[in-house]
Amino acid sequence: MKKRLFLSATMLAVAALSSVSAIAQTNTFKIGLILPMTGQQATTGRQIEAAARLYMAQNGDNVAGKKIELIVKDDTSVPDVTRRLAQELIVNDKVNVLAGFGITPSAFATAPLATQSKTPMVVMAAATSSITQASPYIVRTSFTLAQAAVAMGDWAPKNGIKKVVTLVSDYGPGIDAEKYFKERLTFNGGQVAESLRVPLRNPDFAPFLQKVRDLKPDALFVFVPSGAGAAVMKQFLERGMDKAGIKLIGTGDVTDDDQLNDMGDGALGVVTSHHYSAAHPSALNKKFVEAFGKANKGLRPNFMAVGGYDGMRVIYEALKITKGKGGGEALLAAMKGQIFESPRGPMFIDAQTRDVVQNIYLRKVERKGGQLYNVEFDVIKDVKDPGKEK
């Protein structure tokens, strides 16, 4: 008798507890943010986390009756770790949305889990065109290398650059950058003399740069992921490539705002194409850059930060549109077609491809107020990912 009473009391307590957690669960909206916080891509994680926290500080953590909970996990940019963390976030934490993804292999490793669990997956960094085709639950707020590279393939030959050597990191985004730049340059009457690929992990640029010097092109076109640009710039200058008359061009990853200011005067005049510059002259961007710096000891936001900030916007708005009700499918539907002003300029999420459509700017490194910036001087409006047309 006594034992039964005890048992049922325990059961009641357990039932009460689980209903409490059920309530807590339904009143919380969990975002699992997986980023490289350590290792070679750590600056990408730091920038995106800071931007996500800034967005939350500015917009509150109460949306459509839900308390937003941000769970940040460090995948050290190892795809197997990304997949394991995503699995844990889905199964144990029951996250409503997955987000982040610093490099392409991490996004690909997670895509099947998003599909199986019907969890929207907001890609805030990784930029290979085909990522959005890996799962119908993927929405992207970063950019694609095809978007950026095509603009450079148009600009260069019109500005006296005919013979080019390309140098890219040997994985998805690098191969896209190489392909789309070459295609457009050739179409415009230019020529790629040689295509060089360097390993993603611990690259040594020296032997490649020596080769470029010997080939004497008008310009070297570079794609390396965020965080690696300063090393390329340093070795390019140390080898006197600029003095040998070889220009450095590329997508804006190489003159990354996270590192640009420490690259020195040798970076002056470098022209790149990209979707975001911290110097973008809009009122919204000025506010963003100032607030970001204030919250992060003067850190300048780079293109990764803006991908994270806008990704949070897309998630918040989807939650508002669905009024806090509905699961992954409803959230995903509410993410498609969102159109808004970002610190980068106008952007929207193409409802068909779930990819970002945005302006691509041509920019030149200049000194402004004592600091190095990518100063925009031309724009190609509303660029869809060219990688989807094939």
127 binds ligand VNL (CB under 6 A): yes
Q: Cβ of residue 40: shortest distance to ligand VNL, in angstroms?
A: 9
Neighbours of 84 (CB within 10 A): 15
> What is the gyration radius of the CA atoms in the chain, in angstroms?
23
Binding ligand VNL (rule: CB under 6 A), the pick from 98, 111, 124, 126 is 126
Residue pointed to by tokens 């070795």: 235
With respect to ligand VNL, which residue has the nearer C-beta, 171 or 193?
171
With respect to ligand VNL, which residue has the nearer C-beta, 117 or 272?
272
241-270 positions binding ligand VNL, by CB under 6 A: 253
Distance CA 109, CA 341 (A): 31
Q: Give me 89's structure tokens.
A: 């976030």
Distance CA 217, CA 174 (A): 20
With respect to ligand VNL, which residue has the nearer C-beta, 126 or 365?
126
Residues in the interface with ligand VNL (CB under 6 A) total 14
78-107 positions binding ligand VNL, by CB under 6 A: 102-104
Stretch that binds ligand VNL, among 10-18, 124-132, 202-210, 352-360 (CB under 6 A): 124-132
Contact 285, 306 (CB under 8 A): no
Distance CA 19, CA 138 (A): 32
Stretch that binds ligand VNL, among 67-75, 120-128, 148-156, 321-329 (CB under 6 A): 120-128
Sequence-distant (6+) residues with CB within 8 A of 352 are: none
Q: Cβ of residue 102: shortest distance to ligand VNL, in angstroms?
A: 5
∠ CA(379), CA(179), CA(106), 5° rounding?
Answer: 90
Q: Cβ of residue 142: shortest distance to ligand VNL, in angstroms?
A: 8
Distance CA 118, CA 362 (A): 38
Q: Give me 79's structure tokens.
A: 């795809």
41 binds ligand VNL (CB under 6 A): yes
301 binds ligand VNL (CB under 6 A): no
Q: Cβ of residue 387: shortest distance to ligand VNL, in angstroms?
A: 12
207-226 positions binding ligand VNL, by CB under 6 A: 225-226
Stretch that binds ligand VNL, among 123-131, 231-239, 267-275, 313-321 (CB under 6 A): 123-131
Measured over the CA atoms of residue 75, residue 384, residue 360 and residue 280, the dihedral's sign is negative
Q: Give me 138's structure tokens.
A: 């993927």
User: How, if at all, do strands 356-368 and 345-349 pair?
Assistant: antiparallel
**Single-letter code of the amino acid located at 291:** A
For ligand VNL, which residue has the nearest CB? Answer: 225
Site string for ligand VNL, 136-175 (x = CB under 6 A): ------------------------------------xx--
Classify each residue of 35-70 as buried b or exposed e, where b means 16 or more C-beta atoms within 10 Å of its C-beta.
bbbeebbbbbbbbbbbbbbbbbeeeeeebeebebeb
- Applying CB under 6 A, which residues contact ligand VNL? 41, 44, 102-104, 125-128, 172-173, 225-226, 253
